[in-house]
Chain A
Amino acid sequence: MEFYRSHVLVCTGTGCTSSNSRSVISGLRKELADKGLEKEIQVIETGCFGFCNLGPIMVVYPEGVFYCRVSQDDIQEIVEEHFTKGRVVQRLLYHEPNTTVKTQEFNDIEFFKHQKRIALSNCGIINPEKIEEYIARDGYFALAKVLHEMKPEDVIEEIKKSGLRGRGGGGFPTGMKWNFAHKAQGDQKYVVCNADEGDPGAFMDRSVLEGDPHSVLEAMAIAGYAIGANQGYIYVRAEYPIAVERLRLAIEQAHKMGLLGKNIFGMGFDFDVDIRLGAGAFVCGEETALLTSIEGKRGEPRPRPPFPANSGLWGKPTIINNVETYANVTRIIRNGWEWFASMGTEKSKGTKVFALAGKIKNTGLIEVPMGTTLRTIVYDIGGGILNDKKFKAAQTGGPSGGCIPAELLDTPIDYDNLIAIGAMMGSGGLIVMDEDTCMVDIARFFLEFTQDESCGKCPPCRIGTKRMLEILTRICEGKGVPEDLENLETLAKTIKSAALCGLGQTAPNPVLSTLRYFRHEYEAHIYDKKCPAGVCKSLLSYKINEDKCRGCSLCARNCPAKAISGKVKEPFVIDPEKCIKCGACMEKCKFGAIERK
């Protein structure tokens, strides 16, 4: 069999023949022979493609190019351009009548319209595995500017004036932190990046590291210059293999280009970055615990003061900032503090990245100016609640934060407003909950988390969270007693004031905030032994509505506990003694006859 590099299919159906496909074929064969291509390109006559009004039709393989309305006059061009030079003849391609597809600009898409992407400005745009693409978008120019034009004090002043606050949750002014470390005495200082994103439901840091790793490296070098450090560490979760890999590659590339290492830009400044992997301990997101973990020990926190700025890693002055904070730094240096400070609210400048998830239509990673309302985030960007259910609450700050109820949807989100309403900014997890979410169950869920992750060093956290969890579990199981609520509040206050580190001090927040806004749900569990959202199993009962039941027996056949009985074509009954409340019957029933109370 002869090998042809290309096959040309020309339609010889009735339609195309009447629009002269025969002459196209003969013309094509002749032209190919003239150019000596007849051994390379095979012309095949085929049947109807079904686009008769566009005929004659010609399809070129292996590419699959679809030419329409080909006339004899086009043949020379097709052979010359397509078969000789390998260029598709654009004008002969099929074009939909009267419509050219118009696309929107990225920022005009509803999802992006209300956003302002600074920390995420490169994410999803550049290839994170190519340093050249970062440089093409002004990467490392901030570091160049700092080394060439600014004294360390100027850098700190710039960051201070920008109003940038720590994006990891606490919201401490970044410039002040840098200043403390700058002033601290020490032969050796360190710059640390906290990428131990432990808040379940938050993935901002991961996205930045995966999408724009160099922005973090560059900012760490800038911080190193500002405080007088030449070694940096990135402490990243081992659960983020892709982020780790891209960071490794980025460090290697930056080294190769001399953007990390010795004598950067020939200005006598050395800076290096190492990666340290976490090992699955939430408490290591707390700065003192993180430092102990980098030192290779159990990641237990220690009391502050001394603050890391004075005595951090191996006792040396150290600054720790979160990934998103660093991602903002390079942009502030490049665009000036005024630009950054022009965005946001009075005390919270710039933007905040949120991982929007839960019962929301558009799950995603968003970045909005500080002061944006929750309503804008949930309804304009998020597209509203899944299955058009009712919004109940949004949870921010993860296990350290609180719930924001529907009546506060219009609160402008910034550090101080969130604290005032009993939530907190946290690292940026924003979980949306609907009417089917039980707030007592959610409080229990978070307590279970912190209790599990408590390192056990201090008793208020170790024992206190355990007692709180016991009470919450009891309430969810329908064994709650009236004094439980008061006990929860007392325990919460004690733990808040007495725990050693941030994890313990904030652990009671989910309970306190749900008690504040959803006390009625707790009371329903305790007094009425009901779970209004229908989540807490022990408090549920399933019943078959006799009027709706058609007696099809589907539920009985699917009941794993054999708790449903009845005669076919007559209403079935659930035996509450045997029922394990799994809800399988309700899922299966086609008539909506099974009710949960």
Chain B
Amino acid sequence: MSCQCKCGSGREEDKFAFIDRIIEQYKNQKGSMIPILHQVQQVLGYLPEEVQAYIAEKMGVPLSEVYGIVSFYALFSTQPKGKHRVSVCLGTACYVRGSGKILEELQKELGIKVGETTKDGLFTLEACRCLGACGLAPVLTVDEHVHGRLTTKDVAEIINKYKDVQ
């Protein structure tokens, strides 16, 4: 597996040096595996197998344990994500105000299902549970930006806006 990370390190031998630094930060802390994985994912965008193996070795735990944690929590991903993460809120408030239809429309618009990334690597479609912006229901986020009070008609326009930025 080739490294697609954004750590900026060119040399093969120290491409994981940043992981060492993260682990070092937590060496005196109990129960540090999850914070470490959070930080590594923040740099790489995802947690590929070789990274999990590296962390396991450094932490002195079996790979199965690291994989067990990564696969358990929804926020950890073993797949690279698209440039923009489109996330539709499927919290109850949004759902009763029609976020299911918004999600359907997005799947049509992007031609992918939830959890998938478009072929051009631009968009990853996700569903999430409550962003706490229920006053704006139904909502979706593109990266950090919240779009609210949506109707199915707004979907294409929002997506196009992010395509144009390209």
Contacts and interface: CB of A to CB of B under 8 A. Distances in A.
A509 B131 CA distance: 24
Contact of A279 (B73, B92, B128): B73
A28 interface: no
Interface string B66-86: 001100111110000000000
- Name, among B35, B68, B91, B135, the residue most crowded by chain A CB atoms within 10 Å (CB to CB): B91
Interface string A348-383: 000000010111000110000000000000000000
A259 to B, nearest CB: 23
B51 interface: no
A390 B102 CA distance: 24
B130 A199 contact: yes
A202 B130 contact: yes
B92 A298 contact: no
B73 to A, nearest CB: 3
Interface stretch (A217-225, A288-296, A519-527, A571-579): A288-296
B113 interface: no
B96 A359 contact: yes
A314 interface: yes
B150 interface: no
Interface stretch (A42-50, A331-339, A406-414, A429-437): A429-437
A200 B75 contact: no
A299 B33 CA distance: 12
B74 A203 contact: no
Contact of B93 (A206, A294, A431): A431
Contacts of A207: 132
Contacts of A203: 130, 132, 134
A358 B93 contact: yes
Interface in B10-37: 30-35, 37
Given A358-B93, A363-B137, A431-B92, A239 B73 contact: no
Interface in B27-55: 30-35, 37-38
A202 to B, nearest CB: 7
A363 B133 CA distance: 10
A280 interface: yes
A358 B97 contact: yes
Contacts of A437: 96
Contacts of B129: 198, 200, 282, 449
A296 B32 contact: yes
Interface in A423-452: 429, 431, 433, 437, 442, 445-446, 449
Given A200-B90, A240-B132, A296-B34, A279 B76 contact: yes
A201 B93 contact: yes
A239 B72 contact: no
A589 interface: no
A279 B96 contact: no
A62 B136 CA distance: 36
Contacts of B76: 279-280
A193 interface: no
Contacts of B90: 200
A282 B129 CA distance: 9
A569 interface: no
Contacts of B91: 200-201
A395 interface: yes
Given A238-B38, A297-B69, A298-B69, A200 B96 contact: no
B31 A206 contact: no
Contacts of B134: 201, 203, 355, 357-358, 363
A56 interface: no
Given A203-B132, A281-B74, A357-B135, A294 B96 contact: no
Given A200-B91, A200-B130, A295-B31, A238 B75 contact: yes
A314 B72 CA distance: 20
Interface in B83-112: 89-97
A201 B38 contact: no
B66 to A, nearest CB: 11
15 contacts: A198-B129, A200-B130, A201-B94, A206-B132, A207-B132, A276-B31, A278-B73, A296-B31, A296-B69, A314-B30, A357-B134, A358-B96, A363-B135, A395-B92, A431-B92
Closest 4 CB pairs of A and B: A200-B91, A279-B73, A280-B74, A357-B93
Interface of B: 30-35, 37-38, 68-69, 72-76, 89-97, 128-132, 134-135, 137
Given A200-B89, A357-B135, A358-B134, 17 more contacts: A200-B93, A201-B94, A238-B38, A239-B131, A278-B73, A279-B37, A296-B30, A297-B33, A298-B68, A298-B72, A355-B134, A358-B93, A358-B97, A363-B137, A395-B92, A442-B96, A445-B92
